[in-house]
Amino acid sequence: MTGELSPIDRAKFVAAKKAVEFIEDGMRVGMGTGSTAAWMVKCLGERVRDEGLKITAVPTSSRTAKQAAEVGIKVSTLDEAKWLDLTIDGADEFDADLNLIKGGGGAHLQEKIVAAASDQMLVIADASKSVEQLGAFPLPVEVIPFGGQASRRLIEEMLEDMDVDGRIASLRMNGDVPFVTDEGNHILDLNLRRIGNPVALSARLNQIPGVVENGLFIDICDAVVIGHGDGRCEVLDLSGNFNGGSQADGAGDNLFSELED
């Protein structure tokens, strides 16, 4: 079924497949957004269908809610679930401390709210998302449309004040019109190249009145399942809750056979 996948899609698939093994009956689970998270939704749907797994599932976007419905997962809102045991989501970049850049899909606001309301956040990613220093991926910042030009100017002035490398905030477009998030906001992508102090940058960004939330996830992620194109995956776990806390446990796991299903 999935035999003709590209190496990158194989990597996403095996990471997702491994991650859903951590979901137990009765859990309240946050479901992330993006192409890797879509594999997770698919694998989770299979467990719900084949094993009768009972979960409360909370999507982080309208896109994920739709994907969940397509594979037979009934979704709840975060308010209905109140609190979550585990959120599984993709990322655009992760570093050795498991700080992340997210929001490439424009859903980081709901993703951060859902992850922050979860006991554990598990990221699924192909190995290309691993970086020494965050920032090569443009940092998404969600801003309200009202006064968008002023917010952009304040962000660029703040970047200049912080003396960071790149200082241009680009309005994300969807064809000829600005991209609109599920909350009706716009996204500014910051081409910073490298982020020396993510904690300070995140705090400074969120102090600007028109900024709703930025895509830096600091001290939120507990572990990353890293998938490889040959079907191997490993778990980088700083929490001790996934594979006993070993930093690269499971490096030998090969879920490639699943691709032949």
Ligand X SMILES: O=C(CO)[C@H](O)[C@H](O)COP(=O)(O)O
Question: Which residues fall in the annotated binding site?
Answer: 33-36, 89-92, 102-105, 129
Q: Considering beta carbons, is residue 103 or 135 the nearer one to ligand X?
A: 103
The verdict on whether 24 is a catalytic residue reads: no
* Least spacing, CB of residue 54 vs ligand X, in Å: 26
Please report whether residue 104 would count as binding ligand X according to CB under 6 A.
Answer: yes
Residues contacting 3, CB < 8 A, separation 6+:
259, 260
* Least spacing, CB of residue 245 vs ligand X, in Å: 24
Position among 17, 20, 33, 235 found at the interface with ligand X (CB under 6 A)? 33
Angle (deg, nearest 10), helices 7-20 and 35-51: 50
Binding residues for substrate: 33-36, 89-92, 102-105, 129
Q: Considering beta carbons, is residue 134 or 154 the nearer one to ligand X?
A: 134
Nearest to 142 by CA among 176, 178, 116: 178
Cβ distance 15 to 69 under 8 Å? no
Cβ distance 60 to 78 under 8 Å? no
Please report whether residue 108 would count as binding ligand X according to CB under 6 A.
Answer: yes
Q: Considering beta carbons, is residue 107 or 143 the nearer one to ligand X?
A: 107
* Least spacing, CB of residue 149 vs ligand X, in Å: 24
Position among 16, 23, 34, 242 found at the interface with ligand X (CB under 6 A)? 34
Position among 13, 19, 30, 32 found at the interface with ligand X (CB under 6 A)? 32
Position among 18, 48, 87, 89 found at the interface with ligand X (CB under 6 A)? 89
Cβ distance 259 to 16 under 8 Å? no
Paired sense of beta strands 249-254 and 223-227, if any? unpaired
Please report whether residue 103 would count as binding ligand X according to CB under 6 A.
Answer: yes
Residues contacting 99, CB < 8 A, separation 6+:
134, 198, 216, 217, 218, 219, 221
**Token couple for 210:** 């028109």
Paired sense of beta strands 216-217 and 100-101, if any? antiparallel
Q: Considering beta carbons, is residue 179 or 246 the nearer one to ligand X?
A: 179
Amino acid type, 118: S
Catalytic residue among 93, 111, 142, 213: 111
Please report whether residue 105 would count as binding ligand X according to CB under 6 A.
Answer: yes
Residues that bind ligand X (CB under 6 A): 32-37, 89-92, 102-108, 111
